[in-house]
């Protein structure tokens, strides 16, 4: 079956522009995670959704970052007034159960954001 | 707090074995191992659970020492396809939905 799909794969933005990154999780998956991966580093947690509810946004670095999942499937990560330090790969992961530990996460290939 | 992986990088010839370690200063509930190739999605390899349960790839094994909060990934008879960056992701008992904290990665290169 189809895996986690992210679009666009690459995004170049001028400093100060707003960007929107899309994640299509595996169909039927309840949980959805966003991670930020800097060059040469491991993924770093940003936010978590269970269906349409955003239950944890403790990893969002500033109020310029906003995520939504209005119908409990597709999710969008929006970054307003982008800055150079926002340059990174943004990964989305989904897992079949909600509110459960020991839950395997399935990752998308990510969106590489470059802010000039 | 981020788990610490060692070594940072390892170079092998095909057929050789490798061990990658992941250590945390905090109590862990589970450890997840992923492999990521350049520009691709991290791919799930193995999950190790408190109590000894394991689920994962049939050709890769791992261990989880709950007392020391350490996990090790064992790659035997390495193949060219094993090349990539390996990440451990740790889950703490305090989270109820599987939030993972990842290490900085171990770069594995397998040569013919």
pLDDT band at B56 (very low <50, low <70, confident <90, very high): low
Alpha-carbon distances of B112 from A68, B13, B17, B81, B82, rounded to whole Å:
46, 6, 14, 11, 12
pLDDT band at A60 (very low <50, low <70, confident <90, very high): very high
Average pLDDT over residues B52-72: 80
pLDDT of B28 above 60:
yes
Q: List the beta bridge partners of residue A56.
A: A48
Average pLDDT over residues B36-53: 87
Give the distance from residue A43's alpha carbon to the nearest chain B alpha carbon, in angstroms: 6
Which pLDDT score is estimated for B92? Answer: 86
With beta carbons under 8 A apart, name residues in chain B contacting A5: none
Angle at CA B80, nearest 5°, toward B13 and B101? 100
Which of A101, A106, A109 to probe by mutation at the B interface, max B CB count within 10 Å? Answer: A101
With beta carbons under 8 A apart, name residues in chain A contacting B92: none
Q: Which is more confident, A101 or A8? A: A8
Q: What is the rounded distance in angstroms from the CA atom of residue A41 to the CA atom of residue A73? A: 28
Which pLDDT score is estimated for A100? Answer: 64
Average pLDDT over residues A59-65: 96
Average pLDDT over residues B66-80: 90
3-state secondary structure chain A: CCCCEEECCEEEECCCCCEEEEEECCCCCCEEEEEEECCCCCCEEEEEEECCEEEECCCCCCCCEEEECCCCCCEEEEECCCCHHHCEEEEEEEECCCCCCCCCCEECCCEEEEEC
Cβ of residue A48 closer than 8 Å to a chain B Cβ = yes
Asked if the Cβ–Cβ distance from B41 to A105 is below 8 Å, we say no
Stretch among A7-16, A21-30, B7-16, B47-56 having the lowest mean pLDDT: B47-56
Cβ of residue B96 closer than 8 Å to a chain A Cβ = yes
pLDDT band at B68 (very low <50, low <70, confident <90, very high): confident
Asked if the Cβ–Cβ distance from B98 to A91 is below 8 Å, we say no
With beta carbons under 8 A apart, name residues in chain B contacting A98: 97
Average pLDDT over residues B10-27: 94
pLDDT of A1 above 60:
no
Give the distance from residue B39's alpha carbon to the nearest chain A alpha carbon, in angstroms: 7
Average pLDDT over residues B49-62: 72
With beta carbons under 8 A apart, name residues in chain B contacting A103: 97-98
Query: What is the share, in percent, of chain B residues with pLDDT greater than 70?
Result: 92
Cβ of residue A38 closer than 8 Å to a chain B Cβ = no
Which pLDDT score is estimated for B58? Answer: 63
What does the pLDDT look like over A66-81, one tens digit per residue? Answer: 999 999 999 999 999 9
What does the pLDDT look like over A89-108, one tens digit per residue? Answer: 999 999 998 766 678 899 99
Which pLDDT score is estimated for A101? Answer: 65
Which pLDDT score is estimated for A99? Answer: 66
Cβ of residue B1 closer than 8 Å to a chain A Cβ = no
Which pLDDT score is estimated for A2? Answer: 81
Contact B49, A115 (CB under 8 A): no
Contact B73, B45 (CB under 8 A): yes
Nearest to B110 by CA among B82, B86, B85: B82
């Amino acid at each position: 079956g189809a895996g986690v799909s992210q679009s666009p794969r690459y995004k170049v933005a001028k400093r100060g522009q707003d960007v929107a990154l899309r994640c299509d999780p595996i169909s039927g998956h309840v949980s959805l995670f966003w991670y930020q991966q800097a060059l040469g580093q491991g993924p770093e947690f940003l936010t978590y959704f269970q269906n349409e509810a955003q239950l944890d946004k403790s990893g969002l670095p500033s109020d310029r970052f906003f995520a939504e999942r209005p119908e409990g499937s597709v999710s969008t990560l929006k970054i307003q007034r982008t800055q150079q330090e926002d340059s990174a790969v943004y990964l989305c992961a989904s897992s079949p159960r909600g509110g459960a530990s020991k839950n395997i996460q399935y990752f998308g290939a990510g969106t590489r954001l470059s802010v000039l | 707090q981020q788990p610490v992986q060692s070594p940072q990088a390892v170079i092998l010839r095909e057929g050789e074995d490798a061990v990658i370690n992941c250590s945390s200063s905090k109590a862990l509930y589970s450890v997840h191992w992923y492999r990521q190739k350049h520009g691709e999605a991290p791919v799930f390899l193995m999950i190790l659970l408190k109590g000894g349960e394991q689920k994962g790839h049939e050709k890769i094994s791992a261990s989880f020492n709950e007392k020391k909060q350490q996990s090790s990934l064992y790659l035997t008879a390495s193949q060219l396809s094993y090349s990539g960056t390996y990440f451990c992701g740790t889950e703490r008992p305090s989270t109820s939905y599987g939030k993972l904290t990842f290490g900085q990665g171990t770069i594995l290169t397998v040569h013919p």
